[in-house]
Amino acid sequence: MRSKFDEQLATLNDSLIGMAGVVERAISDAKEALINRDTALAEKIIASDDEIDNREEEIEDLCLKLILRQQPVASDLRQVSSILKMITDLERIGDHATDISEITLLLAGKEYVTKLEHIPQMAEATMKMVTSSIDAFVKRDLDLAYQVIAYDDVVDDLFVTVRDKLIEMINKNPEHGGQAIDFIMIAKYFERIGDHAVNICEWVEYAITGTYLKSQ
């Protein structure tokens, strides 16, 4: 019975890793589409959101079947329950990649009024956070989870930098206000992706320790 459970749990972990991979690629592609004004890539990201949603539903179904058939308890139940929560955050990250891509399409054909410097840095930082948060769960690495939570300060600081520079631009050049607000929204979506990675790490903590301490 235990070997069967372990086998199904391994399948569940593989499915989670697969979903995370699709989400990470969506973040990376959203960054590239924005930088290169690549409308075809932006449209591809928007279309891929269905795949992320489908993966969420499949993993949710696997979790519920595992709970009903194997009736796990204690740490096993916490692990399965945590995955159920994590996939919600991964799905929301996918939504934010879509949101960013939709703004990219709106900006298509326009010259950017500012150099994109800190927003790509935010994208790289959030990809690192998402990857590390899933690694922390699979490896049951509590220290790595705490590192990801602490690293969210980097993303938050980058957001403040982007926001303040763009607000200064609006004050100096009100005619650039519309596009500046679009970039602030993009930065906010990346900041929210970091928040979701933190959420995942908090569920890692719960899976390992049985304690859930919401940090935000």
Question: Residue 168: which domain range?
Answer: 2-209
Digit-coded pLDDT (tens) for 3-46: 787 888 889 999 999 999 999 999 999 999 999 999 999 999 99
Q: How high is the pLDDT of residue 8? A: 86
Average pLDDT of the segment spanning 49-74: 92
Does any domain span residue 192? yes
Does any domain span residue 131? yes
Q: Provide DSSP, 143-207.
A: HHHHHHHHHHHHHHHHHHHHHHHHHHHHHH-GGGHHHHHHHHHHHHHHHHHHHHHHHHHHHHHHH
Q: How high is the pLDDT of residue 29? A: 97
Nearest alpha carbon to residue 158 among 187, 182, 116, 128: 187
pLDDT above 70 for 150: yes
- Tokens matching residue 63: 């979790």
Calculate the CA dihedral of residues 54, 57, 60, 64 and round it to 10 degrees. Answer: -130
Q: How high is the pLDDT of residue 109? A: 86
Does any domain span residue 68? yes
Calculate the CA dihedral of residues 196, 81, 83, 154 and round it to 10 degrees. Answer: 30
| Structural domains counted in the chain | 1
CATH of the domain at 78: 1.20.58.220
For the chain, percent of residues with pLDDT exceeding 90: 85
Q: How high is the pLDDT of residue 1? A: 54
Digit-coded pLDDT (tens) for 156-181: 999 999 999 999 999 999 999 999 99
Does any domain span residue 214? no
Q: How high is the pLDDT of residue 216? A: 45
Q: How high is the pLDDT of residue 214? A: 63
Rg (CA), the chain: 19
- Quote the mean pLDDT of the chain: 94
Dist. CA 188–CA 210, nearest whole Å: 31
5 versus 82: the higher-pLDDT residue is 82
pLDDT above 70 for 100: yes
Does any domain span residue 215? no
Does any domain span residue 216? no
- Tokens matching residue 136: 């922390």
Q: How high is the pLDDT of residue 3? A: 75
Q: Quickly tell me which residue has 């709106």 as its tokens.
A: 106
Q: How high is the pLDDT of residue 74? A: 86
Q: How high is the pLDDT of residue 134? A: 95
